[in-house]
A = this chain, B = another copy of it.
Amino acid sequence: MASEPRPPHNHILRSLSAEARGRIYPHLRLTPVSHGTVLCEPGHRMRHLYFPTDTMVSLLHVLENGASAEVAVVGNEGVVGVSLFMGGESTTTRAIVHNGGHAFRLSAARLKREFDRHGELHGLLLRYTQSLITQMAQTAVCNRHHCVDQQLCRWLLLSLDRLGATELVMTHELIANMLGVRREGVTDAAGRLQKRGIIRYRRGRITVLSRPGLEASCCECYRAVKKEADRLRGMDRARAQHARTGG
């Protein structure tokens, strides 16, 4: 890697001990990824594992008729390409970049080598994968039981958390593709949120004016996913602490 990682770093990389960093960092490459880039195509073997720093990536499933639905969102708390260490080598999901930015990437071979040491990275990646599983499961339930208005709030909150900004560059059309609903449905829902002063938007830019308002209008799904993700990250920290104090 050319330079020391910048502030908007990746949480998994950050959780590594100095020793593990020493092994891994030299093989990381900070790669620019732009809006719309497809990091993973269904059935294709990935060549790198990506550690996003300041980008947000959607994992979505596409149906035969072209309809789609997002199953999870990844930001700098995770990685794109879990099939590389889960052993399947490819997935059925497409990974597409929303807000452009940067990601560290690690070649499949280097990843395998480090993962097979069964050390820190192994634990961090598997625990993150469990967090991803939780997100997918909750998405399934949310798709079943909650209305578009609530789901839009959930999606905005997940995005806010991953982008660390209050403005999203995102059209209604794109959000509709992510949620798997009609564009008009998103326009309606967004219009209601705007009328209530919770968000403001114009031509592809959405500004969140009141995060508490969003949270109040959201279904429990956002909270459930966040709570479990926090719990799992807490376990990461506890383990790191334990290792440092020489347990």
Listed in ascending order, the chain A residues whose CB lies under 8 Å from chain B are: 59, 61, 63-64, 67-69, 71-72, 82-83, 85-89, 91-93, 116, 118, 123, 126-127, 129-134, 136-141, 143-145, 180-181, 220, 224, 228, 231-232, 235
Contacts and interface: CB of A to CB of B under 8 A. Distances in A.
Given A71-B141, A141-B69, A126 B87 contact: yes
Given A118-B118, A127-B86, A145-B180, A92 B140 contact: no
A130 B86 CA distance: 6
Contact of A141 (B61, B123, B133, B145): B61
A235 B88 contact: yes
Nearest to A133: B133
A85 B145 contact: no
Given A61-B138, A71-B137, A123 B87 contact: yes
A138 B87 contact: no
Contacts of A145: 63, 67, 69, 180
A139 B83 CA distance: 19
B61 A130 contact: no
Contact of A69 (B131, B132, B144, B181): B144
B136 A85 contact: no
Nearest to A137: B71
A140 B69 contact: yes
Contacts of A144: 69, 143, 180-181
Contact of A86 (B91, B93, B129, B143): B129
Nearest to A223: B64
A127 B87 contact: yes
Contacts of A116: 118
Given A61-B140, A82-B133, A92-B134, 18 more contacts: A63-B141, A64-B220, A68-B141, A69-B144, A69-B145, A71-B137, A71-B140, A82-B130, A86-B127, A86-B133, A87-B232, A92-B138, A92-B228, A129-B133, A140-B143, A141-B180, A144-B180, A145-B180
B232 A130 contact: no
Contact of A87 (B63, B83, B130): B130
Contacts of A83: 130
A143 B63 CA distance: 12
